[in-house]
Amino acid sequence: MEIKDAVTTLAAMAQETRLAVFRTLVVAGPDGLSAGRIADALGVAPATLSFHLKELDRAGLVIPRQDGRYVIYAANFARMGALLAFLTENCCRGDSAGCAPANADTDAAVDCCPAPDSCC
Amino acid sequence: MEIKDAVTTLAAMAQETRLAVFRTLVVAGPDGLSAGRIADALGVAPATLSFHLKELDRAGLVIPRQDGRYVIYAANFARMGALLAFLTENCCRGDSAGCAPANADTDAAVDCCPAPDSCC
DNA sequence: TCCATATTTCGACAATAATCGAAATATTAA
DNA sequence: TTAATATTTCGATTATTGTCGAAATATGGA
User: What secondary structure, in 3-state letters, does chain B show?
Assistant: CCHHHHHHHHHHHCCHHHHHHHHHHHHHCCCCEEHHHHHHHHCCCHHHHHHHHHHHHHCCCEEEEEECCEEEEEECHHHHHHHHHHHHHCCCCCCHHHCCCCCCCCCHHHHCCCCHHHCC
Residue A119's pLDDT is what? Answer: 55
Question: What are the pLDDT digits (tens) for B8-58?
Answer: 999 999 999 999 999 999 999 999 999 999 999 999 999 999 999 999 999
Q: Which of B42, B87, B111 to mutate to test the interface with A (most CBs of A within 10 A)?
A: B87
Is the per-residue pLDDT at A117 higher than 60?
Answer: no
Question: What are the pLDDT digits (tens) for B58-86?
Answer: 999 999 999 999 999 999 999 999 999 99
Would you tell me how many other CB atoms lie within 10 Å of the CB of residue A43? 9
Q: Which nucleotide is nearest to B52 (CA to C1')?
A: D18
A36-47 average pLDDT score = 96
Residue A89's pLDDT is what? Answer: 81
Length of chain B: 120
Is the per-residue pLDDT at A112 higher than 90?
Answer: no
> φ and ψ at A3, to 5 degrees?
-65, -35
Q: Which nucleotide is nearest to A68 (CA to C1')?
A: C27
CATH architecture, domain defined by A3-78? Orthogonal Bundle (1.10)
Question: What are the pLDDT digits (tens) for A19-28?
Answer: 999 999 999 9
Residue B111's pLDDT is what? Answer: 38
Smallest Cβ–Cβ distance between A14 and the set B10, B92, B100 belongs to B10
Is the per-residue pLDDT at A45 higher than 60?
Answer: yes
Average pLDDT, chain A: 83
Residue A58's pLDDT is what? Answer: 97
Is the per-residue pLDDT at A64 higher than 60?
Answer: yes
Instruction: List chain B domain ranges.
Output: 3-78, 92-120
B88-100 average pLDDT score = 55
Is the per-residue pLDDT at A63 higher than 60?
Answer: yes
The kind and range of the H/E element at A71 are: strand A70-75
A26-55 average pLDDT score = 96
Percent of chain A with pLDDT over 70: 74
| Minimum Cα–Cα distance from A6: chain B residue | B14
